[in-house]
Amino acid sequence: MAIVQSKRKTLATVFKITILILLVLIFFLPLVSMVVTSLKTREELFAVPPIVFPRVAQWANYVSAWTMVRFGKFLLNSVILSVFYTLPCIMSSCFAGYAFSRFRVRESRGVFLVVLATMMVPYMVTVVPLYLLITKIGLTDKRWLWLLFGMQGAPFLIFLFRQYFSTIPLSFEESARLDGANRFQVFFFIMFPLVQTGVIIAGIFAFQWSWADFLQPTLFLTGEKVPLAVKLARGYVDQKESLLYNVGMAGLLYYTLPIIVLFFTLQRRFISGLLAGGLKG
């Protein structure tokens, strides 16, 4: 009986692994296509019959991707915008999450519902009029706007921080308060260090959002100040304005790389932190 049971269990595991490997292979295909395309010559891209792998890997495409658009400059733009957005966004969401988890005032629930309701607002409904308003008062091409954009936090992160704070026992603060610390001292010296995982997760999310955001920079910034998302959205073109798929893929790989690195260095804490604090409760 026991042997039959364990045999069935092994069979089930083998079955699961097979499906998982199949799934992973399918999920990998677009990425493989991306890398392979970036290493082909133009002739190989349009070869008839189509070929799978390039004869010689064209690493030169990666050089062109960097030099054709002054990549370094736009990369710096992206970093500046993302940092400008991420820092205030973390702080503001953390503050708000703390407020919602700790201060029992009558309207707290109502205000929290307003925060959640803002998730329902299509972002273009706010961003497009904002763009018209801001250009009207002449504030075009200002990168510091991102500091303000971050200041409103993000509903999802506020929710996340609220969950994290509500797992911390009240007694931690009470003893500090008895020792004479004020609200802000309690927050900065006791509570904030206790939600490090939340800060990392919020940081990754906020960074990734602003790194990937196309709409706001395309509306608020022009020419030399646009980030990679805007610059690369149109693809790489040669003098005749025809698209260079291979160089384009190389450029997009550069653009995606920081996110990949960020994700893989922090992913263990990231996913388990999301599972532990963010979703339950």
Site for another protein in 48-77 (CB under 8 A): 50, 52
Number of H helices, E strands in the chain: 15, 0
For residue 227, the minimal CB distance to another protein (Å) is 10
Site for another protein in 247-276 (CB under 8 A): 248-249, 252, 255-256, 259-260, 263-264, 267-268, 271, 274-275
96 binds another protein (CB under 8 A): yes
Specify the residue, 53 or 59, whose C-beta has the smaller distance to another protein.
53
2: enclosing H helix or E strand = helix 2-38
Site for another protein in 161-200 (CB under 8 A): 183, 187
Site for another protein in 136-155 (CB under 8 A): 148-149, 151-153
Specify the residue, 76 or 128, whose C-beta has the smaller distance to another protein.
128
Specify the residue, 75 or 229, whose C-beta has the smaller distance to another protein.
229
Spatial neighbors of 141 by CB under 8 A, at least 6 apart, are 220, 221, 222, 223, 225
Q: How far apart are CA 131 and CA 39, in angstroms?
A: 39
The SS3 call for residue 243 is strand
198: Cα separation from own chain's centroid: 14
| Tokens 């390039």 found at | 54
Site for another protein in 9-38 (CB under 8 A): 12-13, 16-17, 19-20, 23-24, 27-34, 36-37
Q: How far apart are CA 248 and CA 232, in angstroms?
A: 8
Q: How far does the chain reach from its first CA to its final CA, in angstroms? A: 40
Specify the residue, 155 or 225, whose C-beta has the smaller distance to another protein.
155
For residue 224, the minimal CB distance to another protein (Å) is 17
The residue among 149, 98, 259, 274 whose CA lies nearest residue 200 is 274
Lay out the site mask for another protein across 200-239 (x = CB under 8 A, - = otherwise): --------x--xx-xx--xx---------x--xxxxxx--
